[in-house]
């Protein structure tokens, strides 16, 4: 499949325009803020459970709650993890095109 071809996953979820912006996604990185529940000591893995690409893993810590680690190589920037975060700790920086059109 070509990089610029329509992605089935994006199409079925109604985000067909995002698949055409795939080239922009690797230059920007998703950020998980310090107010993330797991980083504050509360067990939460909602973002991992909604990531179809398994880009979010939780690293075990001795005597503590697992903390999220994001793989930007696996992440497709689909945004499925953003709305499920109970404290809105996940952000996806806009592309230059999105910033210009806003």
Collapse the DSSP code of 64 into the 3-class scheme (helix H, G, I; strand E, B; otherwise coil) and give the result: coil
Where do we find the tokens 């179809």?
52
d(CA 74, CA 57): 11
**Residue spans per domain, the chain:** 30-101
Buried b (16+ CB within 10 A) or exposed e, 59-77: eeeeeebebbebeeeebbb
d(CA 27, CA 101): 19
The model's pLDDT over 31-89, given as tens digits with 9 standing for 90+, comes to 899 999 999 999 999 999 999 999 999 988 888 889 999 988 888 888 899 999 999 99
> What's the token pair of residue 80?
């499925």
pLDDT bin (cut points 50, 70, 90) of residue 2 is very low
The CATH number that domain 30-101 falls under is 3.30.70.20
């Amino acid at each position: 499949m070509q990089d610029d071809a329509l992605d089935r996953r994006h199409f079925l979820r109604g985000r067909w325009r995002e698949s055409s912006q795939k080239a922009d996604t690797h230059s920007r990185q998703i950020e998980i803020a310090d107010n993330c529940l797991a980083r504050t000591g509360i067990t939460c893995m909602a973002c991992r459970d909604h990531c179809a690409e398994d880009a979010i893993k939780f690293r075990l810590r001795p005597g503590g709650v697992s903390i999220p680690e994001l793989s930007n190589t696996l992440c497709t920037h689909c945004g499925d993890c953003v709305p499920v975060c109970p404290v809105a700790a996940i952000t996806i920086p806009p592309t230059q095109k999105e910033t210009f059109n806003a």
